[in-house]
Every structure is written in structure tokens, then in C-alpha cells.
Amino acid sequence: MPTENTSPAHSVSITDLQPLAERLNSASDDLNQALKRIETALVALNVGLEVWVELRPEEPCFLDEDTAEHIGERPGFSWTRQLLGVHRSHPSGEWRLQIKRTSFVEHNNERAEGVSTFTDLLQASREDRLAAVAKIPDLLAAVRDKASAALDRIERARELADSLTDDIPF
């Protein structure tokens, strides 16, 4: 005899989800606007330095023979490193907040780096954008630290260049 499932999880219709979906999408659009303002302000500083911070910890997974063959790899452990950064986008050459994903595969107990892919933060998945928000303060601190180090190197290089031209009459 068939039983009717009346649990709350099964009594939701697509129409019931519409108000929630509208609020979710509106909130996501608002987050994108805030991220766009951050990106615009950071790029406007014209620091011109590529800087990356860890977005998520690396999580290894084991590729069994079938999976490895399916994706064109050898069996073994693989990792994906996910970073948040400010990076000059190719081919446009514009600076953007981006997510960089790099795959690593272990072969013969050695870690081999695979291909890196870049995604503009504003085009990334909702989950990635949410994770990125928490890492933006770390990114700003890393930009500050790298810019400070670059300034020190530039000032020392200028002093050296000046000392090399002190005796040249112009």
C-alpha cells in the first residue's frame, strides 16, 4: 500500500521558493556591488603589484585509476590551491581582483604543478565570493607589505643609480 510522504521537506513547491530566491539574488547583487567598489578603489591606487593570499586551505584528494584515466592524469594524490589576489588580467591588461586555482598532482612522491586558471572575482561563484570577502583584509595587508618592500627597493636602487652618475657632468 503506497504511503503519502507529508514531511515538510516534500511539501515545498517551486513557487514557494520564489521569494527566497529573489532575496538571495538581491543580496548577492548587493555583495557584488560592494566587491566592485573595493576592486575599483584598489585598482585606482595604481600600486601595480601582483599580490596573492590563500583563499582556502589546500585539500588533497586521491585519484583512483578510473578517475585519473578519465581526466588524463596518473593515479595518486592531487591538490588544488585557491588564492585571492590582485592581478593584471590577460588579455585585457587591466588589474582585477581574481581567484587563481592551481592544480598539483603527486607523481613518484614529488609534487608537480599543473595548470593555473584565473577567474575575475565578480564572475566567480557565490561561494567563492563569500569566501573572498573574509580574505580581503588579508589581501589589503599583503598589498601594503609588498608595496612597502617595493618602495624600499626602489629607493635603494635610485640611490645607487644617483651615486653612479654623481661624477658625470651634465
The cell for 61 is 584528494
Reported confidence tier of residue 47, pLDDT bands at 50, 70, 90: very high
Integer CA distances (angstroms), 125 to 82, 95, 98, 109, 129, in order: 13, 20, 12, 33, 6
Cell numbers found for residue 142: 599583503
What pLDDT, on a 0 to 100 scale, did the predictor assign at position 54?
97
Q: What is the pLDDT of residues 98-132, one digit of tens each?
A: 999 988 777 666 666 677 899 999 999 999 999 99
Specify the 3-state DSSP secondary structure of 94: coil
pLDDT at position 99 is 97
pLDDT at position 44 is: 97
pLDDT at position 3: 53
Domain layout of the chain by residue ranges? 18-162
Q: Please tell me the predicted confidence (pLDDT) of residue 83.
A: 96
Q: Cell match 644617483: residue?
A: 162
pLDDT in tens, 50-86: 999 999 988 777 777 787 777 676 667 777 889 999 9
**Predicted local distance difference test score (pLDDT) of residue 35:** 98
Distance CA 30, CA 79 (A): 33
- What backbone phi and psi angles, to 5 degrees, belong to 157? -65, -40
How many beta carbons lie within 10 A of that of residue 45, not counting itself?
11
As a whole number, the mean pLDDT across the chain is: 88
* Cα dihedral 52, 53, 59, 60 in deg (nearest 10): 40
